[in-house]
Amino acid sequence: MSRIRKLTVAGAASVSVLALTMAPASAAGTTIRSGSATGPAYSGGVVATNLGNISVVTSLSNATCTSAVQNGTINSDGTNLNVTSASFSGCTSSLGSVTVTAQNLPWTGGSVVYAPVSGGRDGTITVAHYTVGATVFGLSCVYTGTLTGNGYNPNNPNRPDTSVAQAQAKITNGTVTKQSGSALCPGTATVTAAFKLVGSGGQQLWATS
């Protein structure tokens, strides 16, 4: 794989990490609660930590990141899910490690929407306006976009990791778009990732009507 290929994959990988939240849709009828499904309404900090590796596939290659943490805030009605900081580590391709950085923070305009599906999700989660880049051997690619995934309450048996009793989110084959970089960077990348979501003090979070 060429050096540029590695860069491309890494850039997409970083983007994927963040993709775990929701699209900027109306969150009418949604209440974020702390502690339980009947707990008090919660507004404040949210921490998203990956569950397992993040996978990114492009037309040239693929990559993984082993660790990703995003910090942000949300309103109790599910609006204004904003990412204020993001970090990535353990991002590799066939050429070795890649430096991944978040850009243009904060990423504003995301949301959580309570939209349960029988036998499936409890809602959707969107992170909007995120931008992430990767650099290797002096070459850079930047990907950006809005990713929407499924959201799960801490007791949902369909959540990605049933050993973790926290709210979770998963994006499967989400698409992000190249913003800038080498002409050899693919125009799009496909991302698959899962995260757990907790309040800033470690509170268990729930999405309800």
- Which distant-in-sequence residues (6+ apart) come within 8 Å of 118 by Cβ? none
Report the C-alpha gap between 98 and 162 in whole angstroms.
31
- pLDDT attached to residue 16: 40
Q: State pTM to two decimals.
A: 0.85
Other beta carbons within 10 Å of 42:
21
The lowest-confidence range among 13-22, 124-133, 173-182 is 13-22
Quickly tell me which residue has 């949210």 as its tokens. 46
pLDDT band at 61 (very low <50, low <70, confident <90, very high): low
What's the mean pLDDT in 189-196? 87
Structure tokens at 205: 């979070």
Of 55 and 162, the one with more pLDDT = 162
Closest Cα to residue 12, out of 96, 83, 98, 126? 98
168 pLDDT more than 60: yes
Lowest pLDDT segment from 6-15, 91-100, 135-144: 6-15
Q: How far apart are CA 109 and CA 30, in angstroms?
A: 16
Q: What's the rounded Cα separation, in Å, for the pair 11 and 179?
A: 11
- No. of H helices and E strands in the chain? 1, 15
